[in-house]
Amino acid sequence: MTMLCKDRDLLALESRIFKAEGLEQFIMVRGSGASISGSSLTCGGVDFISAGVQEGFAVYVNEPESGFEGYFSVLSCDGSNQLTIAPPAAQGMQAEELFSIGSLNLLIASFSAVIEAVSMELCSLMSIRPAISDAEFGIEDIIDQRLAANCAAAGTLCQLMLSAQCGNPDADEALLSDKREMYEELFERSKQALIVEMKNAEGKQRKYCFACGDLERG
């Protein structure tokens, strides 16, 4: 699978994205009674392995009585009901309180299919593998992965906002339209600003500049 960014990169821009109505098809796991201790999350009655939960997936937990909400990314899947998670961007509680909390509702989502489509679009623009099968350079040759990830994340969120509009007849059309336009503009601006440096195994280098559409060879 070709992905220039991961679900955690989407969370950095739009933490509530996988809770949006109209995007339920991206939910991989639903659970209740989950608990967090340190960087470990456990939840009975689910099977993270069978569900295909992987590093980088997005995690949302909430505790209705207190109003706590937490957003995480998966660092590793350690068992059928145990994950190691990254520090959350949380609402309603102090960071030090997050190290032990239970009775949580749980959602885990992945937007990998959309991320891959956007990543392939960018690879095609850069004329690199796997979009161009016989290209000299491939996705593995990209040096500045962060720039590429930010660009892919913006493009993915633009597509997801459109999916949310189409997938939910009761959606707030104005809000989703504004968000879609915002991420579309960010995607286009990211492409214009992005210079991707690549170096292959033979030491050949090049820079691709979206703004000019040209290659510079080192």
Is the predicted pLDDT of residue 212 greater than 80, yes or no? no
Among 190, 183, 105, which Cα is nearest to 146's? 190
Model pLDDT, residue 50: 97
For residue 138, give the DSSP letter.
B
Please compute the mean of the pLDDT values over residues 38-61 and round it to a whole number. Answer: 94
State which amino acid sits at residue 65: E
Residue 27 to residue 2: CA distance in whole angstroms:
20
Model pLDDT, residue 15: 79
111-141: burial string, b at 16+ Cβ within 10 Å, e else: bbebbbebbbbbbebbebbebeeebebbbeb
Q: Are 106 and 31 in contact (CB under 8 A)?
A: yes
Compare 23 and 200 and report the one with higher pLDDT: 23
Model pLDDT, residue 91: 46
Mean model confidence pLDDT for the chain: 83
30 by DSSP, 3-state: which? Answer: strand
Alpha-carbon distances of 147 from 99, 152, 196, rounded to whole Å: 32, 9, 8
Please compute the mean of the pLDDT values over residues 204-217 and round it to a whole number. Answer: 61
Structure tokens at 150: 């930010």
Q: Containing H/E element for 84? A: strand 82-85
What is the CATH topology of the domain spanning 7-109?
Thrombin, subunit H (2.40.10)
Please compute the mean of the pLDDT values over residues 156-168 and round it to a whole number. Answer: 82
Model pLDDT, residue 171: 60
151 by DSSP, 3-state: which? Answer: helix
Structure tokens at 61: 């937990």
pLDDT in tens, 61-100: 999 888 888 888 899 999 999 999 986 544 444 445 556 7
Is the predicted pLDDT of residue 201 greater than 80, yes or no? no
Q: What is the pTM of this model?
A: 0.81
Please give the share of the chain, as a percent, with pLDDT higher than 70. Answer: 79
Residue 41 to residue 16: CA distance in whole angstroms:
19
Please compute the mean of the pLDDT values over residues 20-28 and round it to a whole number. Answer: 83
Instruction: Return all residues near 140 (Cβ < 8 A) that are at least 6 apart.
Output: none
Q: Are 188 and 199 in contact (CB under 8 A)?
A: no
Every domain of the chain and the residues it spans: 7-109, 112-217
